[in-house]
Amino acid sequence: MNSLLNKTFFLIIFLSSQFIKSYEFNIRQVGDTFDDPWSLAFIDEDKFLLSEMPGNLKVISLDTGELIYSVKGVPQVLYDGQGGLSDVVLDPKFSENKKIYFSYSAEDTEEGQLVDDLFSPSNTLFVASASLVGDTLKDLKIIFKAKAYRTAPAHYGGKIAFLSDGTLIITSGDGYNNKEDAQFLDNHFGKIIRINPDGSVPSDNPFVDQDNALPEIYSYGHRNMQGLVISNDVIYENEHGPKGGDEFNIVEPGKNYGWPAICYCVDYSGAQITPFTEMEGMEQPLTYWRPSIAPSGMMLYSGKKFKEWKDSFFISALSGKILSRLTLNSGKVEEEILLKDFNERLRNVYETPSGNILLLTDGPGGKIFELSP
Amino acid sequence: MRILRFFIYLFCATAFASLLSAPISSFFSLYWIDTYVDSVSVADIVFTLLSDIFNYGPTLFLIYLIGFLPTFIIGTPLLSYFKIRSVITFGLFGLCSVMVSIFLVQEVIIGTKVISGSRTSFGLALHYLTGFFAGLYFASTYKNKLSAKFIFSSVVVILLFIVAPKMLNIFSQ
């Protein structure tokens, strides 16, 4: 009997091992170190714009990792806590108009917007557009300033992506201390925003005709959304939970994603935020992580180099120090954990024009790694 | 032995303040949810209270120690030296300890309001009050000898704090 059990056990182990693939990457470090790199955007096959949180925008060679030039004319940012220069994206017609869009946190002392705090300045999330002419930003215009004034430099969101109609989707985080505001439509805490590239509000936004609602709001009840991908006009986002409750969502107009009324989490301190995980009128995530991995950047992979990973979502993780590969099969999410032993806090993940995977690590002294088959 | 006794009772006073403070957070979170969605049941209240006492209480204990240790280590000998025996003074020491702890952790070290019940002035005042009561508790105990009953109760409470969070986790899954 024991022998039969042993054989069965080893057979199960053997069969399981056939489904566990181990992938071999070539990992190449691109250049030396960077100062809190946050995001990048390829301006051609070999060059990318890199945003660094202290407020630097640099053009870097993918091949050598060397600085080609630093971009002048970046506005003053608030580099503190989680704040600073954040996402940078190219206009869909960048090759013609050289226009870029970027998000950042900055102080805002506009009358009536001061938050009373002795120690920290009132600040919020900004999104600006500008033309990259030579090595200088021209025609800088602030197209969005979040009505989400806070003193704690935390939870800005700050991701930007384009829908096919040319409108911009922006993530605006809950500011940490203002989590309940994510449930109310009179502010931009914990909201996904949709605006036109000139900053105006599209007339078909879900709350344009609703009293006491800000017209830029596209969806609400979010926390700190750090990953954003739009594919075939479907908006995918991931957001940090506190302890547990990181989420991967499909975002639809006008919907409430529940934070902080529902959550698969407790607060960092261990305090209960809510006893509820679901509620009528509030959306459930496609998947959630408990314990947290702190999902950061996200990209949808084309399959150019790693053929078997076509249409996979890659999510970089900060505290999890992993690269998560997600696949969607008729609404169900399957996850594969990659780079388990890489031991780096991953800030963002991108695909290079040739189909390799590019990873940004977090913090001052952050690095860029290129993964190729 | 007197020093050991002093620290044991100081830890007990800090734990006392933490246990009083944890439900403040439960109250504020449940109050908000109830006003917003109007669906909080008695079971939700009990679960939240227990979860906060056992999961959040230990965090508060560590945070409050930042204030209680220096305040009482410096303050108690000073009170003896000046022969001040007012228990209210110990209450004020406790209040100041909580004040210092919250200020240091939220404004200087972390920068966000990690103590969830303290985000309003009323919530802050309640936290300070728990420090005051902890100070009174310390004043009434720190000269007592350690009895076997006291040591046994303390061990039971510590064990409870090790076991209960795991049990709650199992029930909440």
Residue B114 has pLDDT above 70, yes or no: yes
Pick the catalytic residue from A155, A188, A222, A240: A155
Neighbours of B122 (CB within 10 A): 11
Residue A276 CA to residue A264 CA, distance in Å, equals 8
> Which residues of chain B neighbour A189 with C-beta distances below 8 Å?
none
pLDDT tens for chain A, residues 1 to 373: 455 545 555 544 444 443 434 467 899 999 999 999 999 999 999 999 999 999 999 999 999 999 999 999 999 999 999 999 999 999 999 999 999 999 999 988 664 455 555 556 789 999 999 999 999 999 999 999 999 999 889 999 999 999 999 999 999 999 998 999 999 999 999 999 999 999 999 999 999 999 999 999 999 999 999 999 999 999 999 999 999 999 999 999 999 999 999 999 999 999 999 999 999 999 999 999 999 999 999 999 999 999 999 999 999 999 999 999 999 988 899 999 999 989 999 999 999 999 999 999 999 999 999 999 9
Closest CA to A290 of A262, A263, A261: A263
Q: Is A162 helix (H, G, I), strand (E, B) or coil?
A: strand
pLDDT, tens digit (0-9, with 9 covering 90-100), for B45-68 = 999 999 999 999 999 999 999 999
Q: Tell me what pLDDT residue A13 has.
A: 46
Residues of B engaging A, defined by a Cβ cutoff of 8 Å: 22, 25-26, 29-30, 32-33, 36-37, 39-40, 44, 47-48, 51-52, 55-56, 58-60, 107, 111-117, 119
CB contact under 8 A, B111 and A120: yes
CB pairs under 8 A between A and B: 73
Residue A359 CA to residue A369 CA, distance in Å, equals 5
Closest CA to B89 of B101, B73, B69, B75: B75
ipTM: 0.85
CB A238 within 8 A of CB A315: yes
Closest Cβ–Cβ partner in A81, A119, A267 for B107: A119
CA A320 to chain B, closest CA, distance in angstroms equals: 21
Q: How many residues does chain B have?
A: 173
> Which residues of chain A neighbour B58 with C-beta distances below 8 Å?
270
Residue B72 CA to residue B98 CA, distance in Å, equals 12
> Which residues of chain B neighbour A183 with C-beta distances below 8 Å?
36
Q: Which of A347-361, B30-44, B68-82 has the highest mean pLDDT?
A: A347-361
Q: Known catalytic residue: A155?
A: yes
CA A257 to chain B, closest CA, distance in angstroms equals: 14
Q: Which residue has the higher pLDDT, B83 or A154?
A: A154
> Which residues of chain A neighbour B33 with C-beta distances below 8 Å?
261, 274-276
CB contact under 8 A, B52 and A261: no
Q: Tell me what pLDDT residue B168 has.
A: 76
Closest CA to A162 of A226, A258, A93: A93
Residue B130 has pLDDT above 50, yes or no: yes
Interhelix angle B121-141/B2-37, rounded to 10 degrees, is 150
Closest CA to A258 of A279, A286, A231: A279
CB contact under 8 A, A176 and B25: no
Q: Among the residues of chain A, which ranges form H helices? A: 2-19, 94-97
Residue B76 has pLDDT above 70, yes or no: yes
Closest Cβ–Cβ partner in A176, A269, A276 for B59: A269
Residue B134 CA to residue B128 CA, distance in Å, equals 10
- What phi, psi does A127 have (nearest 5°)? -130, 130
- What phi, psi does A49 have (nearest 5°)? -85, 130
Q: Tell me what pLDDT residue A338 has.
A: 95
CA A21 to chain B, closest CA, distance in angstroms equals: 30
pTM score, whole prediction = 0.88
CB contact under 8 A, B44 and A275: yes
> Which residues of chain B neighbour A269 with C-beta distances below 8 Å?
56, 59-60, 114-116
CB contact under 8 A, B36 and A183: yes
CB contact under 8 A, A177 and B113: yes
Q: Return the residue in A115, A269, A273 with the most chain B beta carbons within 10 A, the one to mutate for interface testing.
A: A269
> Which residues of chain B neighbour A276 with C-beta distances below 8 Å?
33, 37, 39, 44
CB A179 within 8 A of CB A261: no
Q: Tell me what pLDDT residue A372 has.
A: 94
CA A176 to chain B, closest CA, distance in angstroms equals: 7
> Which residues of chain A neighbour B60 with C-beta distances below 8 Å?
269
Confidence of residue B71 (pLDDT cuts 50, 70, 90): very high
Q: What is the CA radius of gyration of chain A?
A: 21
Closest CA to A53 of A131, A6, A106: A106
Q: What is the distance of C-alpha A48 from the center of its chain?
A: 18
Closest-CA residue of chain B to A261: B33
